[in-house]
Structure 1
């Protein structure tokens, strides 16, 4: 009997040790996993799965090694391309000075995602079929920043994240260009951009705050069911509630603005989010990592739900206040440049029409 009891204790200790290695993390003063602090969500995993992978969710060891190699190679190529950038710009006059140097961007994955795509459902890892009549907006090519000759359809309200559907008025520019909202990192779901992929999480007994560096749009979310705004009141970040499901932080959000798309990718915005329900889960993995999951339920836009998984890693540092081209002062010059270009075109074509600048 004593021998059996001893073996039973040993088995419990072994199982407990294995379990604790997976779930070894500090807890806050309320007994929940301590996820307070600064996190980075860099993730080089494609949002949609390349078709060659079919329904396979994870990379093989060889494919993972190739992914890491390609990521490093692309970084080196960007460095080489910019090595003599200033000399080339001076030597060759251009009307387009460009935007961000490569040093602004950070592509290193702190908590490597071995999946073939961020989307894990539908099982092919791709955006599901879109309902008939749903609006899909495209950003114009970078070389045609004002969408001259309407190379992409002009659909309003403008929900794209980048570019402009025309340079006739501010409302035709993308959400990020207008400094209104940064859907690529702020929401509705959190997804890696080329830079500023940082977030601060603050959890109390009553609220959780999700504060993305890009955009200055903190989401202040109460725990438990509380009287919220009327269903007719929609906002950019929606109306959220939080709860703990064992050791998993769950956030559910609805009442998004109809000016927001259901899905954002860099050059496309699909649907409108007013009827969308977003469920997010934050699961701590050790002291330095979080698994972030989102489920988009929008039956008016898509024929099935969308489930995605990405990774956060502890940020060794802090985040700073974000400024969107310093208070959006650049916008007057953007519009003025468009009018000057129109004037130049009118002069070249012999038109007497004057541009209002």
Structure 2
């Protein structure tokens, strides 16, 4: 039985490598101006998370057998499989009184597979520090925990940004751009002067100015002020001047404290016909004990990107 399982897993691994073999003659597509063409609709959905489970220690990479096990035991995959199971027509009505049951497996799309980069199965997006955890300073960790424990709001202006549909939940619009429970698509459009990234969650448009001057520091736009340039075939984007209300970013799949003084450097590189390697480094001496770096694979998605309509016109927000 063990021999059969090993053979089966080896076969699965070889099948997964076929796309890599097919990329042997692939060349980076280019725009009319000669730079790498990043345009298209991409998804970052995956069960891999920003930070690594402490149980895994410094294990950034796992083998195919462990990757399959992690996929099968991922909490959202387990919940999705339970939701998709046939209903019991003889079950009694629920007794917990929960009326907030609008999100079952039909509505979510968190990803089902472990993130794979260069044939490696990753246990976290963070690659540095080695433990895969955000290296908060004591002061930043305390502020983050205090904010997370707060409850109650004086009015709608204090509700979370994602709940108010100002920006997406967590750090989906970024930067850094992180996958959430659903709507993990990004549409990239570019010309010689700009790169635009349309973020499905929450229909935010990131306008990246190429080879441009940074805005004066008195301007702190949502999603920060992004300026980009090309280094070979890699688009490098540096973002600063974040809006101070966007410092605490909470979502079901990640939580992140990123102060308005932080700097985020992103790198977008086409690594295959159906993939962009998205890398980013976050720096802030007051919030982190060291800069930290992460990598996320973005893969092509079929179909068009439709608008994420939130609760526009709904004035019942408590």
TM range (shorter): 0.7 to 0.9
Residue matched to 2:286: 300
DSSP-derived class of the 2:230 partner:
strand
Instruction: Determine if the alignment matches structure 1 residue 102 to structure 2 residue 105.
Output: yes
Q: 2:139 aligns with which of 115, 124, 132?
A: 132
Unaligned runs of 5+ in 1: 1-17, 141-151, 155-164, 336-357
Residue matched to 1:58: 61
1-structure distance, mates of 2:53, 2:115: 21
2-structure distance, mates of 1:131, 1:24: 46
Whether the 8 Å contact between 1:278 and 1:296 is mirrored in structure 2 is yes
Q: CA RMSD in A?
A: 2.9
Residue matched to 1:5: none
Q: 1:194 aligns with which of 174, 181, 188?
A: 181
In proportion to residue count, which structure has more helix?
1
Residue matched to 2:38: 35
1-structure distance, mates of 2:255, 2:112: 26
Change over 3 Å in CA distance of 1:315–1:184 after alignment to 2: same
Residue matched to 2:27: 24
1-structure distance, mates of 2:162, 2:89: 28
Between Structure 1 and Structure 2, whose CA radius of gyration is higher?
1
Residue matched to 1:240: 226
Residue matched to 1:214: 201
Whether the 8 Å contact between 1:279 and 1:296 is mirrored in structure 2 is yes
Instruction: Determine if the alignment matches structure 1 residue 46 to structure 2 residue 33.
Output: no
Whether the 8 Å contact between 2:180 and 2:254 is mirrored in structure 1 is no
Q: 2:241 aligns with which of 234, 237, 255?
A: 255
- CA deviation map 1:37-94 (0-9, x unaligned): 11111021122112232222211222112123335555322312xx439997966583
DSSP-derived class of the 2:83 partner:
helix
Change over 3 Å in CA distance of 1:205–1:89 after alignment to 2: farther
Change over 3 Å in CA distance of 1:22–1:234 after alignment to 2: farther
Residue matched to 2:303: 317
Q: TM-score, normalised by structure 1?
A: 0.73
Runs of 4+ with >6 A deviation: 85-89
In proportion to residue count, which structure has more strand?
2
2-structure distance, mates of 1:62, 1:298: 38
Whether the 8 Å contact between 1:41 and 1:312 is mirrored in structure 2 is yes
Residue matched to 1:115: 122
Residue matched to 2:8: none
Aligned residues: 290
2-structure distance, mates of 1:304, 1:221: 26
Whether the 8 Å contact between 1:166 and 1:172 is mirrored in structure 2 is no
Whether the 8 Å contact between 1:139 and 1:268 is mirrored in structure 2 is no
Change over 3 Å in CA distance of 1:221–1:47 after alignment to 2: same
Change over 3 Å in CA distance of 1:231–1:65 after alignment to 2: same
- CA deviation map 1:190-245 (0-9, x unaligned): 1111110001001111100011011121011111033x421121112111111111
Residue matched to 1:171: 157
2-structure distance, mates of 1:138, 1:264: 13
Q: What's the offset of the Cα at 1:30? A: 1.7
Whether the 8 Å contact between 1:253 and 1:278 is mirrored in structure 2 is yes
Residue matched to 2:215: 229
Whether the 8 Å contact between 1:135 and 1:270 is mirrored in structure 2 is no
Residue matched to 2:5: none
